Amino acid sequence: MGLSEVEDKVRVKKKLFIVLIGMFFTYISITTATAITKENHINVEEEGHLQLTYEEFQKLLKQGYTVHEIVKAAHISLYTNKGIEYILRFYKKNGSWQETANHFGVDLEKLKTDQMRKTKRLNRQHKEKIITILANYTSRTPEEINDYLKQDADLHFLIVAAAISKTTNTDLPVIIQYNKEGMSFHEIMKTVHANQKIVFREVKILHQKIKNIE
């Protein structure tokens, strides 16, 4: 495998993490803080790899950045050697994602298309392995997970639903049923008394298992 292929594979795995984070925080509708101030800015370690912990995500939220802004900046950071907050600060100065992407040499439309294509490809190529991971994680059979997928519960949904199920001792079918009834993840988590931080930690554990798929 050539260097470009290795880098491409690593990038796909990072993107999957961003997708999981974006999907998780968007679904549970986190309330953001007020506008960011200069005093709240933290130093950014400009590095070529993504490190985004729950605490760092929360810190950015408290500084006034929205979930959408953080996830968007994280996507751009995958193609640059700049930190997420550094990109967010630049975006806040001009208010345009297109201008921000151009400044960092990233084609925004190509990035969107590339993300969707590679994430779908990863899920398609490793669907059975991801199903096995979810089955083992939830103590269910692969056949049961497949049945859930036939009930309009996609893999992204099942990853978070599985984390909620495990951390609250709630049967996975119950969470799936809540979703069928039109409840948002925020409503589901409130109903089953889920701890947001613990659920996020479990989502990261599942991500790590998926990330290690060869």
User: For 141-176, how does the pLDDT look when each residue is reduced to its tens digit (9 = 90+)?
Assistant: 999 999 998 887 788 788 889 999 999 999 999 999
**Distance (Å, rounded) from C-alpha 95 to C-alpha 189?**
33
> What percentage of the chain reaches a pLDDT higher than 70?
71
The pLDDT value given to residue 33: 27
Q: pTM for this structure?
A: 0.56
**Distance (Å, rounded) from C-alpha 89 to C-alpha 38?**
10
Over 90: is that where the pLDDT of 124 sits?
Answer: no
The pLDDT value given to residue 43: 28
pLDDT greater at residue 8 or residue 89: 89
The pLDDT value given to residue 52: 66
- Residue-wise pLDDT tens digits, 15-67: 555 555 554 444 333 322 222 222 333 222 333 344 567 778 888 989 999 87
> What percentage of the chain reaches a pLDDT higher than 90?
33
The pLDDT value given to residue 45: 30
Which of these ranges, 8-17, 162-171, 200-209, has the smallest mean pLDDT? 8-17
pLDDT mean over 103-114: 82
